[in-house]
Amino acid sequence: MRKKIALCWFRQDLRLSDNLALLNASKAQNILPLYILDTVNSGRDFLGSASKMWLHHSLNSLNQSLDGKLWIKQGDPFEIIKKLLQAYSIEAVYWGRCYEPWRRDRDEKIKSYLIDQNIEVRSFNNSLLWEPWTIKKDDGSHYKVFTPFFRKGCLNHLPPREPLAKPSTLRIFFNEDDSQEIDDLKLLPSAAWGKKVKEFWKIGEDEAQILFNDFLRSGINNYKEGRNFPSDKNVSRLSPYLRFGQVSPNQLWYGALKLGEDKNIDHFCSELGWREFSYSQLYYNPSLSTKNLQVKFDSFPWDRSSKKLVAWQKGLTGIPMVDAGMRELWETGYMHNRSRMIVGSFLVKNLLIDWREGERWFWDTLCDADLANNSAGWQWIAGCGADAAPYFRIFNPVTQGEKFDPDGNYVRRFIPEIAKLPNKFLFNPWQAPKEILQEARVSLGKDYPNPIVDLKLSRERALSAFKSLK
């Protein structure tokens, strides 16, 4: 008699705790824990280089938690699951829901097939506090502005479910002859860049909890204000773990609220709310990563300069606060949120380069690259989103640096070639007197680039371009 099996399909929930799909599968006689690298359905939204690196190490960590019995497959999940049904006595298939358009279409096809085969199929909310279709206005339409979405919609809705513990018992069915090795997926980048990024992180479910607990002990105490200073330790840096589901938003939400309620905890929860809002935008606007939500931007006169784009990507614009952010990204696979706003504003407004170029670069180089968050963030920066920063809000990277990196620690860390400049000229070295540059051993155009644009003139050009849309 063949063993009765429940298949648990891991996707963006690579953890054992607070995993509803796994918890329900564990009630079966046996469980088949499966990860499929979908190489067929994702199209342009296949994982970027940094995300692939993170996924590799995440799967290794999850596999260790499952005593080396995580099934690994790659290809088309529809065909893979069909073959598993033919080979084994699978009675049920469980998974955590995904919200990207291509995943929703794929999952609906698989679900219909399983129902036709009289296989129990259940999906669960493993990734969000409130799923997009649950938060609506009184008239039934979806929110297009964040503050009422979160304050009126989410906070007046049923509270998120409380996080759940790991299953007490996992009876795992495993056939090593029918599973690939994680290395077979070839997720690790061949360039040395990937190894350098990995050195910045400890990747896994346990590591996510350690990082979160450290943040709760210290970083959250001044979160509302401190989160704006890139060199301070007032951010959690949990976004990659959240993106791959090594920690759930429910764990973060209730973990913070257990400390009580104050302005810092409220602001931390509102940042989780912004993530929910991004997913709502993606759900109701499937082309969020490719099309302006405000259609007037379709005629925006973008600059197609590849040289300026490459200078931005490499952190060689000659604008220190911009370059520090871009180099942080390249070295760590992460960028502080304040820096993301500064570098994004500079690309879109000072360089007049299409926000989609920035979205694609972030997609490839950020460990936390998330289709909803990444797309919504760039549309916000560009001013073309549903609830966006006004286009005329142009971040001045000099004054931003002076305000949010007052001691220059952030810039000096990532741009060592200008580290000896005094704070007065650290963010605008092109204005430093010749003798100051000589004393700091900085030769502009040689040790560090001259600015690729004039900040004042480029701001005026951006405002003029925006006015042309009206």
pTM summary value: 0.96
Task: Give the mean pLDDT of 64-79.
Answer: 98
Task: Give the mean pLDDT of 92-119.
Answer: 97
Residue type, 114: L
**The two three-digit tokens of residue 302, written as one number:** 């973008």
User: Is 428 marked active-site?
Assistant: no
State pLDDT tens for residues 341-357. Answer: 999 999 999 999 999 99
Average pLDDT over the chain, rounded to an integer: 95
Indicate if 117 and 46 belong to the same structural domain.
yes
Cα 207 to Cα 29: distance, rounded to the nearest angstrom? 30
Sign of torsion over alpha carbons 236, 242, 248, 253: positive
What pLDDT sits at residue 29? 87
Task: Give the mean pLDDT of 308-327.
Answer: 98
The answer on pLDDT for 389 being more than 80 is: no
What pLDDT sits at residue 3? 66
What pLDDT sits at residue 4? 85
Indicate if 210 and 321 belong to the same structural domain.
no
What pLDDT sits at residue 469? 84
Domain boundary among 218, 249, 284: 284
Residue 176 CA to its chain's centroid (Å):
33
Q: 60, 207, 221, 274: which one is catalytic?
A: 274
Q: 337, 402, 417, 423: which one is catalytic?
A: 337
Indicate if 410 and 326 belong to the same structural domain.
yes
The CA–CA distances, whole Å, from 41 to 45, 61, 164, 319 equal 9, 26, 31, 40
Indicate if 435 and 396 belong to the same structural domain.
yes
- Of all residues in the chain, the percent with pLDDT exceeding 90 is 92
What pLDDT sits at residue 194? 83
Residue 373 domain-assigned? yes
Indicate if 322 and 417 belong to the same structural domain.
yes
pLDDT class for 406, splitting at 50, 70, 90? Answer: very high
Task: Give the mean pLDDT of 382-408.
Answer: 89
CATH number at residue 113: 3.40.50.620
Residue 182 domain-assigned? no
Residue 172 domain-assigned? no
The answer on pLDDT for 83 being more than 60 is: yes
pLDDT class for 392, splitting at 50, 70, 90? Answer: confident
State pLDDT tens for residues 13-34. Answer: 999 999 999 999 999 889 999 9
Indicate if 97 and 149 belong to the same structural domain.
no
User: Is 271 marked active-site?
Assistant: yes
The answer on pLDDT for 391 being more than 90 is: no
Domain boundary among 250, 284, 318: 284
Residue 238 domain-assigned? yes
**The two three-digit tokens of residue 133, written as one number:** 């279709």
User: Is 253 marked active-site?
Assistant: no
Indicate if 451 and 315 belong to the same structural domain.
yes
Task: Give the mean pLDDT of 401-405.
Answer: 97
Q: 221, 302, 402, 430: which one is catalytic?
A: 302
- Helix-helix angle 337-345:320-332, to 10 degrees: 120
Pairing of strands 90-96, 71-75: unpaired
Cα 287 to Cα 101: distance, rounded to the nearest angstrom? 8
Indicate if 328 and 443 belong to the same structural domain.
yes
CATH number at residue 430: 1.10.579.10
Residue 398 domain-assigned? yes
User: Is 378 marked active-site?
Assistant: yes
What pLDDT sits at residue 190? 80
Indicate if 240 and 269 belong to the same structural domain.
yes
What pLDDT sits at residue 33? 98
Indicate if 345 and 356 belong to the same structural domain.
yes
CATH number at residue 222: 1.25.40.80
Order across the sheet with 90-96: list the strands. 71-75, 30-38, 5-10, 90-96, 120-124
Q: Comparing 296 with 249, which gets the higher pLDDT?
A: 249
SS3 per residue for 184-237? HHCCCCCCHHHHHHHCCCCCCHHHHHHHHHHHHHCHHHHHHHHCCCCCCCCCCC
Phi, psi torsion values for 167, nearest 5 degrees? -60, 140
Residue 226 CA to its chain's centroid (Å):
21
Sign of torsion over alpha carbons 17, 22, 27, 32: negative
Indicate if 123 and 149 belong to the same structural domain.
no
Cα 152 to Cα 342: distance, rounded to the nearest angstrom? 30
Q: 312, 355, 363, 380: which one is catalytic?
A: 355
Task: Give the mean pLDDT of 257-282.
Answer: 95
Residue 194 domain-assigned? no
Q: Are 420 and 330 in contact (CB under 8 A)?
A: no
Of 363, 383, 361, 379, the C-alpha closest to 371 is 363
Please state the domain count of the chain: 3
Q: 330, 363, 378, 380: which one is catalytic?
A: 378
Q: Are 388 and 378 in contact (CB under 8 A)?
A: no
pLDDT class for 1, splitting at 50, 70, 90? Answer: very low
Domain containing 221: what range?
A: 128-162+205-284
Residue 446 domain-assigned? yes
Indicate if 273 and 350 belong to the same structural domain.
no
The answer on pLDDT for 101 being more than 70 is: yes
User: Is 201 marked active-site?
Assistant: no
The answer on pLDDT for 195 being more than 90 is: no
User: Is 302 marked active-site?
Assistant: yes
Least trusted range by pLDDT, from 103-117, 170-184, 199-213, 374-388: 374-388
Residue 234 domain-assigned? yes
Domain boundary among 102, 127, 152: 127
What pLDDT sits at residue 393? 84
The answer on pLDDT for 12 being more than 50 is: yes
